[in-house]
Amino acid sequence: MVSIKEVDPELFINKLAERLKKEKIITQPEWALYVKTGVSRERPPEQDDWWYIRAASILRRIAIDGPIGVSRLRTYYGSRQRRGSQPEKFRKGSGKIIRTILQQFEKAGLIEQVKDKEGASKKRVKKGRVLTKEGEKLINEIIKSIVKG
């Protein structure tokens, strides 16, 4: 079986975005046409289906790094902000977009939250979102279609 790390990321994300859009697993909110993807951006995305591409990218990130939370995803999707004559500075991406996509995935049953476990061990267990069986199944189907074709 081929791992998600071995598949070309761009091809994987495009195929997954097509599937999310075609099967209406998630939907793009009306406000998504007018928002920037972070404070470091000057304009909203120009692609019409950018919501599905971002959602596919987030699902891939969860599959690779999970459990992962909104804060780490915001850092991953951040970029440098141009500030005129001042030096550039790193800014995180939009949390509203990431939270909304994660909520849609939870509603569809593709991901679930893992809470921080308090117990006798002093070793801290990560909390955040992880894939469910349905999410793993969807990702494996996309990987198989890429490997075959």
Q: pLDDT-derived band of residue 12, with 50, 70 and 90 as boundaries?
A: very high
Residue 59: closest CA among 25, 96, 101: 101
Could you give the CA distance from residue 73 to residue 99 in angstroms, rounded to a whole number? 10
- What value does the mean pLDDT take over residues 115-138? 77
CATH of the domain at 72: 1.10.10.10
| 39 close to 91: Cβ distance less than 8 angstroms | yes
Q: pLDDT-derived band of residue 119, with 50, 70 and 90 as boundaries?
A: low
Could you give the CA distance from residue 31 to residue 111 in angstroms, rounded to a whole number? 24
If one counts the domains in the chain, the total is: 1
Lowest mean pLDDT among 45-49, 74-78, 110-114: 45-49
**pLDDT score of 124 more than 70:** no
- 23: domain range? 4-148
Predicted TM-score of the model (pTM)? 0.86
**pLDDT score of 36 more than 70:** yes
Q: What is the chain's percent helix, strand, coil content, to nearest 5? A: 50, 15, 35
pLDDT of residue 147: 87
- What value does the mean pLDDT take over residues 41-61? 89
Q: What is the pLDDT of residues 60-97, one digit of tens each?
A: 999 998 789 999 998 998 888 898 999 999 888 888 99
